[in-house]
């Protein structure tokens, strides 16, 4: 990703990242930042990041040819004399350090959003609300880690008033580092559930990791928004020495929504401060996400009417409960990611649908560690309790789900190609199909193939009829 930034001298960047200029001109004016050798803004500085597979130092000659005038590196490299080379110990750390220094140049209120699930939805709701009143920057796509958060902060400009930053994590210390970089004064913890158990090991450790946001706000006299409906609310609240605002359906919530109505994959609705709210997204969990965003928006000084209009302006994204109508079949693409919390919510919504048949298409939930077998078994038991007619599945762990699922027709697939073919052969008018799995299982490919085939088939039928 690349960004155009407010002008900085190369020597100022070197100071911010604790590096030394080993080549070139320290007075060079930098107007762009990039980590992507395929996208080079004019007069930009390239951060040569090292990953498990690729080392971007190999691309430094290319980015210079494409117009970069400086680079952050961890070793000496042969470059033209006019290129400013800043050497550091860790280029990824330097990216965060420069983002921190860049962020400090702006008087902007930043809200940080983390949680086991619901982060992106809450971020989208809050950003949608904030944009009605303020010039707002927010996380795009999946840029919520130690690389994505700095790149998002480089979108700040002198006229920016608010920013909504999504903060993901997989190990302890990540949220703390993201808070150090972004310096939020307002935080939201959306939920706590069995995610990243492979690296964290237990729910208690997940709470500890998510509460790094609270611990940062404790030191900065900030405000933390917590989900009052969560089974872990009391434990989350006990970590807070800063001001806590609770949001949800409980009567004792500081910000309460009432008359919540969610019916299958139909848009959820509720009442907020006496005003009816109609979302464009389905599910009780989505209404609770909206409540968290509303509570944060109140802390940002936004009035109730703007909040209601902002909540209603947010549309579903590809892979996140986006419904496609295909010749009398409803295909719900929720394939971007999956965990026990979000999959359980999706199964409940599917069960609530008035449909000819309710078809669940799923694959493995990843990063669950030693709890993976039991979490997949729990999903199978939930399927048995709900009105699910057909289970189409693939994956070693999802086979455990299938074994636990009773009173449902089960079809196992070898790979995604076969899964797409089986869906196409199985689906019929009146069906509702939910597709959900962890992103690494790539069921987005299945959704795309099914949609493309159905569209091609429909076009072929139309052409045939015209003949």
Asked if 416 and 436 touch (Cβ cutoff 8 Å), the reply is: no
**What count of Cα atoms within 13 Å lies in the side-chain half-sphere of residue 283?**
26
Helices (H), 266-303: 284-299
Provide the pLDDT for residue 327. Answer: 87
**Residue 277 zone, left/alpha/beta (φ > 0; ψ -120 to 50; rest):** beta
Domain covering 322-465 in this structure, CATH number: 3.90.190.20
Asked if 165 and 152 touch (Cβ cutoff 8 Å), the reply is: yes
SS3 of 187-245: EEECCCCCCCHHHHCCHHHHHHHHCHHHHHHHHHCCEEEEECCCCCHHHHHHCCCCEEE
Options 3.40.1190.10, 1.20.970.10, 3.40.640.10, 3.90.1150.10; which CATH number does 106-311 get? 3.40.1190.10
Mean pLDDT for the stretch of residues 389-397? 97
Whether the pLDDT of residue 463 is over 60: the answer is: no
Tens digit of each residue's pLDDT (9 = 90 or more) over 176-210: 999 999 999 999 999 999 988 888 989 999 999 99
Which residues have a Cβ under 8 Å from the Cβ of 239 and sit 6 or more positions away?
A: 207, 211, 214, 215
CA 145 to chain centre: 10
pLDDT category at 455 given cuts 50, 70, 90 is confident
Whether the pLDDT of residue 466 is over 60: the answer is: no
The label of the residue with tokens 């920057």 reads 137
Tens digit of each residue's pLDDT (9 = 90 or more) over 214-224: 999 999 999 99
CB-CB neighbours of 260 under 10 Å: 17
Options 3.30.1330.60, 1.10.275.10, 3.40.1390.10, 3.20.20.70; which CATH number does 2-90 get? 3.40.1390.10
- Domain ranges for the chain, please list them: 2-90, 106-311, 322-465
Provide the pLDDT for residue 187. Answer: 99
């Amino acid at each position: 990703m690349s960004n155009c930034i407010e002008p900085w001298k190369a020597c100022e960047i070197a100071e911010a990242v604790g590096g030394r200029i080993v080549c070139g001109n320290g007075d060079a004016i930098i107007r762009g930042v990039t980590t992507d050798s395929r996208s080079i803004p004019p007069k930009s500085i390239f951060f040569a990041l090292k990953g498990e597979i690729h080392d971007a130092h190999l691309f430094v000659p290319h980015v210079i040819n494409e117009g970069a005038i400086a680079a952050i590196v961890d070793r000496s490299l042969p470059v033209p004399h006019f290129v400013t080379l800043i050497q550091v110990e860790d280029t990824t750390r330097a990216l965060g350090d420069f983002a921190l220094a860049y962020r400090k140049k702006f008087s902007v209120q930043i809200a940080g959003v983390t949680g086991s699930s619901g982060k992106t939805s809450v971020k989208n709701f809050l950003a949608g609300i904030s944009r009605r009143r303020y010039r707002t920057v927010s996380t795009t796509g999946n840029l919520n880690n130690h690389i994505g958060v700095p790149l998002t902060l480089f979108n700040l400009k002198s006229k920016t008033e608010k920013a909504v930053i999504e903060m993901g994590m997989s190990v302890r210390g990540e949220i703390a580092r993201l808070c150090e970089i972004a310096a939020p004064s307002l935080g939201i913890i959306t939920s706590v559930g069995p995610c990243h158990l492979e690296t964290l090991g237990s729910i208690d450790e997940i709470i500890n990791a998510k509460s790094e946001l609270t611990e940062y706000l404790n030191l900065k006299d900030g405000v933390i928004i917590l989900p009052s409906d969560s089974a872990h609310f009391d434990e989350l609240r006990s970590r807070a020495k800063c001001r806590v605002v609770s949001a949800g359906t409980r009567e004792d919530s500081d910000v309460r929504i009432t008359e919540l109505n969610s019916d299958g994959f139909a848009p959820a609705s509720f009442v907020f401060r006496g005003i009816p709210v109609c979302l464009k997204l389905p599910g009780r969990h989505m209404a609770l996400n909206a409540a968290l965003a509303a509570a944060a928006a109140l802390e940002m000084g936004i009035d109730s009417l703007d909040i209601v209009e902002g909540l209603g302006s947010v549309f579903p994204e590809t892979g996140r409960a986006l419904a496609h109508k295909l010749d009398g079949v409803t295909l719900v693409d929720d394939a971007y990611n999956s965990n026990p919390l979000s999959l359980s919510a999706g199964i409940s919504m599917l069960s609530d649908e008035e449909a000819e048949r309710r078809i669940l298409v799923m694959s493995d939930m990843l990063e669950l560690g030693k709890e993976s077998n039991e979490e997949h078994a729990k999903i199978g038991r939930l399927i048995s309790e709900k009105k699910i007619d057909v289970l189409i599945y693939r994956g070693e762990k999802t086979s455990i789900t299938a074994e636990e699922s009773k009173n449902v027709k089960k079809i196992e697939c070898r790979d995604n190609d076969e899964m797409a073919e089986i869906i196409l052969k199985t689906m019929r008018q009146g069906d509702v199909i939910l597709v959900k799995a962890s992103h690494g299982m790539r069921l987005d490919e299945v959704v795309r193939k099914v949609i493309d085939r159905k569209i091609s088939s429909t076009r072929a039928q139309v052409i045939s009829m015209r003949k």
